[in-house]
Amino acid sequence: MVEFAQNAAVPYCGRLLAGMGADVVKVEPPEGDAMRRLADLGPGEARAYATINPGKRSMVLDLRADGAPEVRDGLFRWADVAIVGVKGSDLDRYGIGWDHARTVDPTLVHLTHTPFGPEGPAADEGGYDVLVQGLSGAGFLMNRSSDGVPLPTRPAVNDFGTGMVSALGVLAALRHRDRTGEGQRVDTSLLSTALGLGTAVLHRFEALADQDEADRSALADLRADGGGFDEQRDLYEGSALQGQTAFRLYFRTYATSDGLVSVAGLSPGLHARFHEVTGVERPPRDASAGSPEFLAVVDAAERCFAERTTEQWLADLRAAGYPCGRYNLPDEALDDPQVRANGFVVELDHPTFGRYTTAGMPVALGAAPTGLAGPSPGLGEHTDAVLAEIGLSAGRIIELRSAGTFGPVGSV
């Protein structure tokens, strides 16, 4: 498989497929993937690159060079799958789009990832997770804020969600090829992923049109009056989102005397158990999420949780069968017993900067075990080996290198 992509979304697709056994050749520009340029582990090495790209091979190719088409087309003929993540205008500019790739190998599965989708006014624009958080409406619901302005959500959920969706699309296309011998283009985008992740809250129902219009009008009035981001979201969550009484009392995170604990009950039966364990009185049946009666119960619950430790609450809630869990810091999550017991993180050894811990595979197969074959590759580490595999002679490789096809003469 050949990967023409940088940053996170499509490279994460390559990571997943590598973990399922694919030989992934990552094609990098002479300066390397943009993630390398964070360079906090030394020249050309960075944590983001190392964690997104384990198990791959790296080759360098300057797609602008005169000799690039020969190598590019050789990679298309060699690969079963090409995964490509660039803005739409660069697909034809560099000859890495499906329209050209299919003339080289019509059986190729070609993942075409464009940030905002292949059609429409933004089809040829570059895009990032933060832009899609804003455009999709999902950011309004999940972003934290500072001084009345939303902050981008991290981790980049749309990038990594798109990587998962892309891997699914590639596997479906390979199954189609197994049955028909036919290659095809597979399209994914950050924007479609963001909308998909927001399925339960990004919707419109004709039966609720009057209520929706009232909510929009109230938000417009608040904005016109200078209401800030937090005020707007509070209004939206209180009026437009369903289930807010549950999310403010039974399905949330509480501060304990020594940390935090998350609870997750959405059924009436679990709600009853919550009150049995905490001793907090139930709110009136018809109380809204913003009513004084309901807020008084929330306040009582918060004071109750603050009186005991996280361990005590976990023990009592679990004994009652109420779903609950720790609220880990990122570093704590890497050592959580549940995470370790399932192999959800792995230890890798890199020849330059040593051992590191990163997320393992999010899927396991019984008959075909998954796993990362090794650490992230050095920039251009496998260039000559891959060129030989796609049929270039040693002499031709020297000629192309002298012509700058793989970057300035003397580089990797």
Mean pLDDT for 53-70 is: 96
What pLDDT was estimated at residue 376?
A: 97
CA angle, 38 then 157 then 119, to 5°: 95
pTM of the model as a whole:
0.92
pLDDT value at residue 9 = 97
The per-residue pLDDT for 242 is 67
Instruction: Give the pair of three-digit tokens for residue 28.
Output: 């990098």
Pairing mode, strands 149-151 and 144-146: antiparallel
> Is 196's pLDDT higher than 90?
yes
DSSP string, 352-379: TTEEEEEE--S---SSS-----SSPPPT
- CA-wise closest residue to 284 among 274, 297, 272: 297
Q: Indicate the pLDDT class of residue 211, thresholds 50, 70 and 90.
A: confident
Mean per-residue pLDDT for 211-219? Answer: 88
Comparing 375 with 287, which gets the higher pLDDT?
Answer: 375
Dihedral, CA of residue 282, residue 285, residue 290 and residue 291, to nearest 10:
-90
Closest CA to 33 of 111, 98, 85: 85
Can you give the pLDDT at residue 409?
Answer: 65
E strand intervals along 34-80: 57-60
Mean pLDDT across the stretch 149-158? 91
pLDDT tier at 354 (50, 70, 90 boundaries)? very high
CA–chain centroid gap for 253, Å, is 23
Contact 182, 162 (CB under 8 A): no
Quote the pLDDT of residue 147.
85
pLDDT higher at 175 or 238: 175
Q: How do residues 293-321 score in pLDDT, each as one tens digit?
A: 999 999 999 999 999 999 999 999 999 99
Residue 87, classified by CB atoms within 10 Å of its CB into exposed (0-12), middle (13-18) or buried (19+), is middle
Confidence of residue 283 (pLDDT cuts 50, 70, 90): very high
Question: Which pLDDT value is given to residue 89?
Answer: 87
Calculate the alpha carbon distances from 252 to 95, 229, 249 in Å: 49, 21, 7
Q: Grade residue 290 by pLDDT with cuts at 50, 70 and 90.
A: confident
**Torsions phi, psi of 13, nearest 5?**
-60, -45
The pLDDT assigned to 232 comes to 87
Please tell me the distance from the alpha carbon of residue 278 to that of residue 117, in angstroms, as a whole number.
49
Confidence of residue 212 (pLDDT cuts 50, 70, 90): confident
How confident is residue 412, by pLDDT bands cut at 50, 70 and 90?
Answer: low
- List for the chain the helix, strand, coil content (%; round to 5): 45, 15, 40
Sheet of strand 251-255, all strands in order from the earlier edge strand to the far edge: 251-255, 260-264, 324-326
Q: Give the per-residue pLDDT at 247.
A: 87
Residue 177 has pLDDT above 60, yes or no: yes
In whole angstroms, what is the distance from residue 196 CA to residue 35 CA?
Answer: 26
pLDDT higher for 74 or 148?
Answer: 74
The model's confidence at residue 332, banded by pLDDT at 50, 70 and 90, is very high
153 φ, ψ (degrees, to nearest 5): -75, 130
Residue 102 one-letter amino acid: R
Tell me the average pLDDT across 328-339: 94
Per-residue pLDDT, 289: 80
Q: How confident is the model at residue 233 (pLDDT cuts 50, 70, 90)?
A: confident
Amino acid identity, position 316 = D
The 10s digit of each residue's pLDDT in 241-274 is 666 788 889 999 999 999 999 999 999 999 999 9
- Average pLDDT of 229-235? 85
The pair of three-digit structure tokens given for residue 190, joined into one six-digit string: 């950050």
What percent of the chain has a predicted confidence (pLDDT) above 70? 98
Radius of gyration over every alpha carbon of the chain, rounded to an integer in angstroms: 26
pLDDT in tens, 79-97: 999 999 998 889 999 999 9
